[in-house]
Chain A
């Protein structure tokens, strides 16, 4: 079946522009996660949804970052007034349940370059 998909795969933004990154999780997966992966680093947790509820947004680096999942399926990560330090790969992952020992399924990521 289809895995987690993300779009666009690549995004170049001028400093100060707003961007929106989309994640389509595996159908029926309850929980969805966003991670930021800087060059040469491992992914870092940004935020987590259970259905449409955003249960944790403690990893969002600033109030310029906003995520939503209004219908409990597709999620959008929005970055306002992009800065160069926002350049990274943004990964989305989903799991079938709301807790417990599940495997996270990752999408291919969106590589954001802010010039």
Chain B
């Protein structure tokens, strides 16, 4: 069965520190892969996506993610976190729009 796992429910990092949010998936083939960010009271905003090609994907706000087929992972990274990055982050996978699966999310807190 298709599934997405975000192992970390809550992560706290200091401002300026690096960040890595984990995402593992189970899917029959290589799906489309996404990372979204959700601020309180807001909808989801796309940070980056992987459809094919280069496995290191650059996104908005200085985020990047690396697709590792052998590990079924698509981890999100940022070299230096800003206070405005505090939000909920969701990994999503799917090969068709009606079978998109979202992880349960990782809440990021940024310490000053």
Decide whether A and B assemble into one complex.
yes
What residues make up the interface of A, taking CB atoms closer than 8 Å to B?
A: 4, 31, 33, 40-45, 48, 55-56, 58-59, 91, 93, 95, 99, 101, 103-104, 106-109
Q: Which of A95, A101, A106 meets B51, CB within 8 Å?
A: A101
B102 pairs with A56, CB closer than 8 A: no
A58 pairs with B98, CB closer than 8 A: yes
Q: Does B87 contact A (CB under 8 A)?
A: no
Chain B interface main SS type:
mixed
B44 pairs with A48, CB closer than 8 A: no
B97 pairs with A91, CB closer than 8 A: no
The count of residues in chain B whose C-beta lies closer than 8 Å to any C-beta of chain A is: 22
Q: Does B100 contact A (CB under 8 A)?
A: yes
A23 to B97, CA, bound (A): 18
- Tell me whether A108 and B104 are in contact in the complex, defined as CB-CB below 8 angstroms, given that A48-B98, A103-B49 are known contacts: no
Mind listing 28 A-B residue pairs with CB under 8 Å? A31-B97, A33-B98, A40-B104, A41-B105, A42-B92, A42-B103, A43-B44, A44-B102, A45-B99, A45-B100, A48-B97, A55-B98, A59-B98, A91-B43, A91-B44, A93-B44, A101-B32, A101-B49, A101-B51, A103-B49, A104-B44, A104-B46, A104-B100, A106-B36, A106-B45, A108-B41, A108-B43, A109-B43
